[in-house]
Structure 1
Amino acid sequence: MDLPLIKMMTLNKTLDPVLLRSFIAVVDTGSFTRAADSTHLTQSTVSQQVRKLESQLGCELLQRKGRYVTATLEGERVLSYARRILQLMTEAVSQTSLSAEQQIIRLGVPEDFATHAIMPTLHAFSNEFPGIRLEVKSGMCSDIWREFQNSDLDLALVKQRPGSLPGLSHWPEPLCWIDSLHSNSLDKHPVPLVSFPIGGLYRNEMAHTFDSLGRSWRLAYVSTSLSGVCCAVESGLGISLLPRRLVTANHRILDEGDGLPPVPDMEVTLHAQDKVSALSRTLAERLIQTCQRIFDRELS
């Protein structure tokens, strides 16, 4: 084993890559002055750093005689290791950054899909690929879609008008009017409505329907939470418009017999950015399979 390597292995101190860079710069340029220019340091700083490195290694690394500065025999050996050390450090930083970037998959889903609907799929995916950092955001579809358009999400499961925006796959989402099983909000004047905030799904549809019927209405309960909306209807606070698959035993479906017109289906669509990782595509395929099972059960 080379003497400089033995000495480096027996040192208790860690070699500073800054010292190694200055040493390499002096050898490559043949001058402390030119090395200072290439490293954007002062000549005295470069000289001090080389002397410190020599002190740590216990040998002279440079010959300072003549017009040019050259490496000693020990210096040539150390130079080879110094280049390899800095190269490995550069590769480590590069690979770590690349790996971290590849490991993040950002998914946006509506709240009703962020509960029990797709959680088993996400859990299984995370277990199968433990190196992936899956970041899931649930909320209103308008917010999810805005973040997707801003490229803040890799995948987005959103509800939209049928055929309005193409995606990887889509499924019909039948809607229905619901009231509490134990009350009749249609008999009240004005009719109390339970809704999501402005920009939330179905709110405009609800308002337009009652306006076209010539029925006065009011917002009795507004919430960004799906569970809050469902509970408010169950408690008799008002009528709402929701996906049929979310109807509970404490809800009563209203139809034309109650004086309310049918509502066109919505569409649940999975979108993906043009350029996503292979594992993002794998997750998208798993989500498509899961959503297909969800909506197949709804149709059966």
Structure 2
Amino acid sequence: MSLDVVVEHSVSLGRLWSEDGLDIMIAPTSVVVADALITWNVNLQWVCDLDYVPDQERPLDLVAFAAPCLWRRRMIAALVAAGREHRVALSSHSVTALQAAIENGLGIGLLPPESVRTGSMRVLKTSAGVPEPLTVQYGLYAHDRRTPVVDAAIDVLLKDIPATPGP
């Protein structure tokens, strides 16, 4: 078996899927017009370094994934809806870069719980001037025309995904 893995932002993955460029895909359900085999929610939390204190009088410094990331769009939309001024202080395609920037006090970010380094980051509460945590729904997608190898790969993925059955 040969495995080619593509790690891209969601918009690109959705495009690749619609062009039949992928056999299996994990992506937000909002970028795909197809039924997922299973879906699950990812809860995104507003995080900062241990000593960061947001100044209510100044725009929030954000650490965000680079555009056209859907998490970034939702992050900014939530801040706009809450009337909270902000600016993107750092953007990157790398979660490791975002973690380092947050840990070093460059700003706040939106991360899933498994990416929050509890020894050097803390979760912000709404009382700190951030919106409620955001939830993004993900799905595991596979075309109907599958080989036994693709089905075997799906079985491996299903073992580690905390999911609910798709439609």
TM band (smaller chain): 0.7 to 0.9
Q: Residues 164 and 252 of structure 1: is their aligned pair in 2 closer, same or farther, counting only changes over 3 Å?
A: farther
The Cα shift of 1:159 comes to 2.4
Partner of 2:106: 237
Partner of 1:271: 141
- Listed one character per residue, the Cα deviations across residues 166-185 of structure 1 (whole Å, up to 9, x for unaligned) are 21111111111111112224
RMSD between superposed Cα atoms in Å: 2.1
**Structure-to-structure mapping, 1:137-216, within 5 angstroms:** 137-161=6-30, 165-187=34-56, 189-216=58-85
Query: After TM superposition, where is structure 1 displaced by more than 6 Å over at least 4 residues in a row?
Result: none
TM-score (normalizing by structure 1): 0.50
Partner of 1:10: none
**Does the alignment pair 1:288 with 2:163?**
no
**Does the alignment pair 1:227 with 2:93?**
no
Query: Counterparts of 1:160 and 1:247 in 2: how far apart (Å)?
Result: 23
**Structure-to-structure mapping, 1:74-93, within 5 angstroms:** none
TM-score (normalizing by structure 2): 0.86
Say which structure is richer in strand: 2
Which structure: larger Rg?
1
Query: Counterparts of 2:9 and 2:76 in 1: how far apart (Å)?
Result: 18
- Listed one character per residue, the Cα deviations across residues 107-136 of structure 1 (whole Å, up to 9, x for unaligned) are xxxxxxxxxxxxxxxxxxxxxxxxx11111
The Cα shift of 1:247 comes to 0.9
Question: Structure 1: any 5+ residue segments left out of the alignment?
Answer: 1-131, 296-300
Question: Structure 2: any 5+ residue segments left out of the alignment?
Answer: none
| Contact 1:185–1:236 (Cα < 8 Å) also in 2 | no
**Structure-to-structure mapping, 1:42-57, within 5 angstroms:** none
Report the secondary structure of 1:270's partner residue. Answer: strand
Partner of 1:258: 128
| Contact 1:254–1:260 (Cα < 8 Å) also in 2 | yes
Percent identity, aligned pairs only? 25
**Which structure has the higher relative contact order (CA within 8 Å, separation 6+)?**
2
The Cα shift of 1:154 comes to 0.5
| Contact 1:193–1:221 (Cα < 8 Å) also in 2 | yes
The Cα shift of 1:152 comes to 1.1
| Contact 2:63–2:90 (Cα < 8 Å) also in 1 | yes
| Contact 2:49–2:104 (Cα < 8 Å) also in 1 | yes
